[in-house]
Structure 1
Amino acid sequence: MSNNIANLNTPGYKSKRVIFEEKLKNIMDNSSISLKTTNKNHINDGNSMQNINPQTLQDKSKSLRLDGNNVDIDLEMANLAANQILYNALVSQANSRIAMRRAVINGK
Structure 2
Amino acid sequence: MLYGNTIKTLGSSLDYAIRRNEQIATNIANVDTPNYKAKDIAFKDILNEKLRTSLQAKRTHEKHLPFQIETRTYHTFLKKNLQYNHNGNNVDIDKEMANLAKNQIYYQSLVDRMNGKFTDLQTVIRGGR
TM range (shorter): 0.7 to 0.9
Contact 1:14 1:60 in 2 (8 A): no
Deviations 1:21-78 (A, max 9, x none): 21221232343389xxxxxxxxxxx78xxx2242222236444422112110010011
The TM-score, its normalising length taken from structure 2, stands at: 0.62
**Residue 122 of structure 2 corresponds to which residue in structure 1?**
102
Which residue identity does 1:11 align to in structure 2? Answer: P
SS of equivalent residue, structure 2 residue 54: coil
Matched residue SS, 1:31: helix
| 1:97 Cα offset (Å) | 0.7
What is the number of equivalent residue pairs in this alignment? 94
TM-score between both structures, scaled by the size of structure 1? 0.72
Q: Which runs of 5+ in 2 are unaligned?
A: 1-23, 57-67
Residue 38 of structure 1 is matched in structure 2 by none
Counterpart residue number, 2:65: none
Q: Give, in angstroms, the shift of residue 93 of structure 1.
A: 0.5
In 2: Cα distance, 1:59 partner to 1:25 partner: 20
Report what 1:27 is aligned to: 49
Letter matched to residue 14 of structure 1: K
Deviation at 1:11, TM superposition (A): 1.4
Alpha-carbon spacing, 1:60–1:93, altered in 2? closer, same or farther (3 Å)? closer
Matched position secondary structure for 1:57: strand
Q: Does 1:72 align with 2:95?
A: no
